[in-house]
Structure 1
Amino acid sequence: MRDFVFQAADIPSVAVKGTGARFPVRRIFCVGKNYAAHVAEMGGDAKSDPPVFFTKPADAVAPCGADIPYPTDTDDLHHEAELVIALGRGGADIPAAEAAAKVFGYAVGVDLTRRDRQAEAKAKGRPWDVAKAFDNSAPISDIVPLAETGHPSSGRIWLSVDGVLKQDGDLSAMIWSVPEIIAALSRSFELKPGDLVFTGTPEGVGPIARGQRVEAGVDGVGELDFRII
Structure 2
Amino acid sequence: MRSYHFHKNRKNLSIGKIICLARTYKKHAEEMKTNTPPNPLLFLKPASAVIFSGESIIYPKISHCVHHEVEMGIVIEKRASNISKDKALDVVAGYVVGLDITARDIQSIAKKNGWPWGIAKGFDTFAPISDVVSVDDVDDPDDFSFKLWVNSKLRQQGETKNLIWNVKTLISYISSIMTLEPGDLILTGTPEGVSEIRIDDQITAELTGLINLSVDVKPFISKEKN
1:142 corresponding residue in structure 2: 131
What is the aligned counterpart of 2:72 among 83, 94, 105?
83
Q: Which runs of no fewer than 5 residues in structure 1 stay unpaired?
A: 1-10
Deviations 1:27-60 (A, max 9, x none): 11101111000000001122x4643101111121
Identity of matched residues, %: 35
Q: Distance in 2 between matches of 1:220 and 1:97?
A: 27
Match of 2:201 among 189, 208, 212: 212
Is 73-82 or 149-158 further displaced after alignment? 149-158
Cα pair 1:33 1:50 within 8 Å, conserved = no
* Farther off after superposition, 117-126 or 101-110: 117-126
Aligned-pair Cα RMSD in Å: 1.4
Count the aligned residue pairs: 218
What letter is aligned with 1:43? K
1:128 is displaced (CA, Å) by 2.0
Aligned mates of 2:92, 2:82 — CA distance in 1: 15
Partner deviation per Cα, 1:46-77 (whole Å, 9 max, x = no partner): 2x464310111112110111122212221011
Q: Counterpart in 2 of 1:119?
A: 108
Where structure 2 has 5 or more consecutive residues not aligned to the other structure, the ranges are: 219-226
Aligned partners of 2:79 and 2:181 also within 8 Å:
yes
1:144 CA displacement? 1.2
Is 1:26 matched with 2:16? yes
State the 1:225 CA deviation: 0.8
Query: Secondary structure of the residue that 1:37 maps to in structure 2?
Result: helix
1:42 pairs with one of 22, 27, 32: 32
Following the alignment from structure 1 to structure 2, what is the Cα–Cα distance between the partners of residues 65 and 119? 30
Residue 52 of structure 1: aligned partner? 41
Structure 1 residue 81: Cα displacement? 0.3
User: When the two structures are superposed, what TM-score results if normalisation uses the length of structure 1?
Assistant: 0.91
The residue number in structure 1 matching 2:3 is 13
- Matching residue's letter, 1:206: S
User: Quick check: 2:79–2:180 contact (8 Å CA) kept in 1?
Assistant: yes
**Range with bigger deviation, 48-57 or 168-177:** 48-57
Please state whether the residue corresponding to 2:165 is helix, strand or coil. coil
1:18 corresponds to which letter in structure 2? K
